[in-house]
Amino acid sequence: MHQFDRDIALQKQDQTQFRGEVSNNWSINNIPNGGYLMAILANAMSQCSDKQATPVLTVNYLSRCDADEVRLSVEQLSQSKQFNRLQIRLIQEGREKAWAFGTFAVETDACMIDRMETSPPAIVEPEKCVAFPAMPTYTLFDQLDVRLDPSCAGWMQGNLAEQSELRGWVKFKQDRAFDIFALMLMADAFPPAVFASQGMVAWVPTLEFSVNVRKVSQTQWLQCVFRTRFITCGLLEEDGQMWDQSGELVAISRQIAQFRKTL
């Protein structure tokens, strides 16, 4: 079994209650990655839904979650022929640490329309990109191969850009096919896009994170672009797109995060 599958595995207590263990294998500065937590939440919700396609998940992170045991409680909000809508609470040490709302759709063989008004990001081949280095307390990058296009990697040497944008590639270091849970993780795998213009000293904890999976990719790599356009009143947004190597849109995301220039 892949490490990721072990680390999102849950024990079902009854039809709506689960127990699990948050691992430290997917952490940034010893804080479990938000996309990893979203994957755990999505796993519980998917087990309570008879529909599995194109999930839309929005997570509110209420307080810091630690690498420790958690309890998850799922509630069915509505059910129709096309959609299941659920909400879930993640509870640790008696406190609610995260709340999420999810929509799962009935599977369909074809889209009525497949129109793209933008294209995959311009990124050089993975072999020519800059690999994000492994660091002792950044265990996420022990598990994922994240490579930035050289044109937006200057901040790693203190050369800041005018735009807060990161483009690059991502995959598991230990090969694993992408599924909806992996895509939740990958949507939060890159450093914050604001690092490109502000440097790595920025403090950027996520408040709310939304991911909409459109298609599950079968390619080895995902090519991604993340962009922040507004930093105001101590908050920023980060919009993301993930595409596969064949040019198919895989998922879109948006984060709302706090921003502080210095730690």
Confidence (pLDDT) at 200 = 84
Q: Is position 233 within any domain?
A: yes
Band of the pLDDT at 262, cuts 50, 70, 90? low
Confidence (pLDDT) at 118 = 92
Question: What's the domain count of the chain?
Answer: 1
Q: Is position 182 within any domain?
A: yes
CA dist., res. 87 & res. 167, Å (int): 32
Q: Is position 117 within any domain?
A: no
Is 61 in contact with 41 (CB distance < 8 Å)?
no
Q: Is position 118 within any domain?
A: no
Confidence (pLDDT) at 115 = 86
Q: Is position 113 within any domain?
A: no
pLDDT in tens, 210-226: 999 999 988 999 999 99
Confidence (pLDDT) at 60 = 98
Domain encompassing residue 222: 3-106+125-258
Question: Average pLDDT in the 25-49 region?
Answer: 96
Is 124 in contact with 140 (CB distance < 8 Å)?
no
CA dist., res. 74 & res. 133, Å (int): 37
Confidence (pLDDT) at 113 = 79
Q: Is the pLDDT of residue 201 over 90?
A: no
Phi, psi for residue 48 in degrees, rounded to 5:
-105, 5
Q: Is position 120 within any domain?
A: no
For the entire predicted model, the pTM comes to 0.96
pLDDT in tens, 104-127: 999 875 667 788 889 999 999 999
CATH of the domain at 20: 2.40.160.210
Q: Is position 43 within any domain?
A: yes
Kind of pairing, strands 10-12 and 144-148? unpaired
Q: Is position 234 within any domain?
A: yes
Give me the chain's average pLDDT, please: 94
